[in-house]
Amino acid sequence: MKETTLKQIAETLGISITTVSKALKNYSDVSPKTKQAVLDLAHSLQYTPNSFAVNLRTKESKTIGLIIPEVVHHFFSSVINGIIAEAEQHGYLVIILQSNESLELEKKQVALLLNKRVDGIIISLSNESNHDAHLKEILQREIPFVQFDKISKLIPSSKVLINDQKAAFEAVEHLILKGCKKIAHIRGPVNPQNAIDRFIGYKKALEQYNIPFDSRLVYTCKNVTFEEGKMFAKEMVSQHPDVDGVFVITDLVAVGVLAYFNEVQIQVPQQIKVIGFSNWFMSQVITPKLSTVDQPSYEMGVTAFNLLLQEIQSKKDSQSFEPQVIELNTKIIERESTL
């Protein structure tokens, strides 16, 4: 790397390092002529101000960090778009890190963001995250911090959520009201709070309508993929051919379920009704069109950024900030798969 230093600039122009530094920061007590000379030389020497040094004055990097588990699900790419659109309007750049559902990587990424001195951090946790020392570290450093979707309940940061229990309850209730008597659940992995809450919602709906809970009807995804949907659909119909309804953790997996049923010509919704979660746009393109729970992903991104910005502002103004928990509304979208 061709790098030069404030010292070289100072020596070349015969001025003090302090003056060079002030000129680069556009301080008013340096003459326009000197400023121009410093900027010209800095430019021709390809000098990059060290981001830390720049921050000493403003204490701002105008950069925020976003850690997400993956980008394959449309939900996350849509949240990202909401965050970026809102951040750009307020002059912030967004550094995205993808934890690939790995706690180890997530910890390194939090350390990197703290090290790179971002103005704030937004996180949706990896499925492995049952450990929160790295999240506490963010709070201890007093870095503005918002969790969304997959969160740690015990960490008192701001949060943007949906009511997963209620949404799942409504999805299963929808199946029951459509006449299903034996309802399976393809659930998410064991750790994430949202998978736990959707499972609880499933159980509560069965209980409310006096349908006995049977743990053999619960299938647990490891990677939450299309392929797992196909696999569990196959397992389910061979083990429990009388299942007449299934509530699936997310649309991508539900589309896998439908793909298997199409392959082996099991009629949906006549033989078995299927409802997904998230309202992925593809869910209305496949045959049969998938019923689902609409989860406001873009809006979740916008809301998360705005909460973070409030905290960044409060910190700048040296005011206290009370973390907020915002719950966004979901709704059942009825399509062909539960008619």
- Contacts with a second copy by CB under 8 A lie at 1-2, 46, 48-52, 59, 63, 70-72, 74, 76-78, 80-81, 84-85, 88, 93-98, 100, 105, 108-109, 112, 114-117, 137, 140-143, 226, 255, 258-259, 262, 281-282, 285-287
Give whichever of 144 and 192 is closer to a second copy, judged by the CB atom. 144
Phi first, then psi: what are they for 164, rounded to 5°?
-65, -40
Measured from the CB of residue 111, what is the shortest distance to a second copy in angstroms?
8
78 or 158, CB closer to a second copy?
Answer: 78
Q: CB-wise, 124 or 165, nearer to a second copy?
A: 124
Residue 95: both structure tokens together: 């550094």
In the complex, the smallest distance separating the C-beta of residue 168 from a second copy, rounded to whole angstroms, is 24
CA–CA gap between residue 187 and residue 105 (Å, rounded): 24
| Contact criterion met (CB below 8 Å) for 38 and 20 | yes
Q: State the minimum distance, in angstroms, from the CB of residue 216 to a second copy.
A: 28
Q: Toward a second copy, which CB reaches closer, 100 or 191?
A: 100
Question: At a CB cut-off of 8 Å and minimum separation 6, what does 5 contact?
Answer: 47
> What is the C-alpha to C-alpha distance for residues 63 and 145, in angstroms, rounded to an integer?
13
Q: Which is nearer to a second copy, 193 or 323 (CB)?
A: 323
Alpha-carbon distance 288 to 23, whole Å? 65
Residue 2 φ/ψ region, left for φ over 0, alpha for ψ in the -120 to 50 degree band, beta for the rest:
beta
Which residues, in sequence order, are bridge partners of residue 219? 186
Residue 67 or residue 168: which is nearer to a second copy going by CB? 67
Using CB atoms within 10 Å of the CB of residue 72, give its burial: 0 to 12 exposed, 13 to 18 middle, 19+ buried: middle
CB 67 within 8 A of CB 106: yes
Task: Give min distance, CB of 160 to a second copy, in A.
Answer: 19
Q: Least distance from C-beta 226 to a second copy, angstroms?
A: 6
Between CA 339 and CA 330 the distance in angstroms is: 20
